[in-house]
């Protein structure tokens, strides 16, 4: 049995638009089993340039012909990678299930407000 823990991730990229947007923060239950139709945090297979970043994708079911693997998809078919391009994702690479979104208002209240000073087009 896997141990469960809760974490927060920040969305980067456009592969899950319109459901998720750059900067959205999601609550993740790490170690939870994949659930068809739910969003999950997954580790995609390494690419030609090495490891890919951890991603958020939608679990659509078991990977056909790949026992123990899951099929995950992006919502924006014009951006990013998913099982259509990399194949099924082993259960060990489905790191957790998204259980909620941190409201923007709460993010603004909790995030430190650090604004770099800009002079003459350079940070200084």
Instruction: For residue 101, report the phi and psi dihedrals to the nearest 5 degrees.
Output: -120, 140
Overall size of the chain counted in residues: 124
Q: pTM for this one?
A: 0.80
When the pLDDT of each residue in the chain is averaged and rounded to a whole number, the result is 86
Read off the pLDDT band of 105 (50, 70, 90): confident
User: What gap in Å lies between CA 16 and CA 73, rounded to an integer?
Assistant: 9
Predicted pLDDT at 118 = 38
Domains and CATH numbers, the chain: 5-110 (2.10.109.10)
What is the residue whose two structure tokens read 């299930």?
Answer: 97
Predicted pLDDT at 109 = 62
């Amino acid at each position: 049995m896997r141990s469960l823990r809760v974490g927060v991730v920040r969305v980067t990229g456009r592969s899950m638009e319109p459901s998720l947007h750059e900067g959205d923060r999601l609550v993740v239950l790490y170690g939870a089993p994949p659930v068809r139709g739910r969003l999950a945090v997954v580790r995609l297979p390494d690419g030609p340039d090495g490891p890919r970043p951890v991603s958020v994708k939608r679990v659509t079911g078991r990977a056909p012909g790949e026992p123990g693997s899951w099929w995950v998809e992006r919502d924006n078919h014009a951006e990013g990678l998913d099982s259509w391009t990399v194949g099924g994702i082993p259960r060990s690479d489905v790191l957790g299930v998204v259980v909620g979104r941190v409201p923007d208002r709460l993010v603004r209240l909790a995030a430190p407000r650090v604004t770099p000073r800009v002079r003459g087009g350079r940070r200084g």
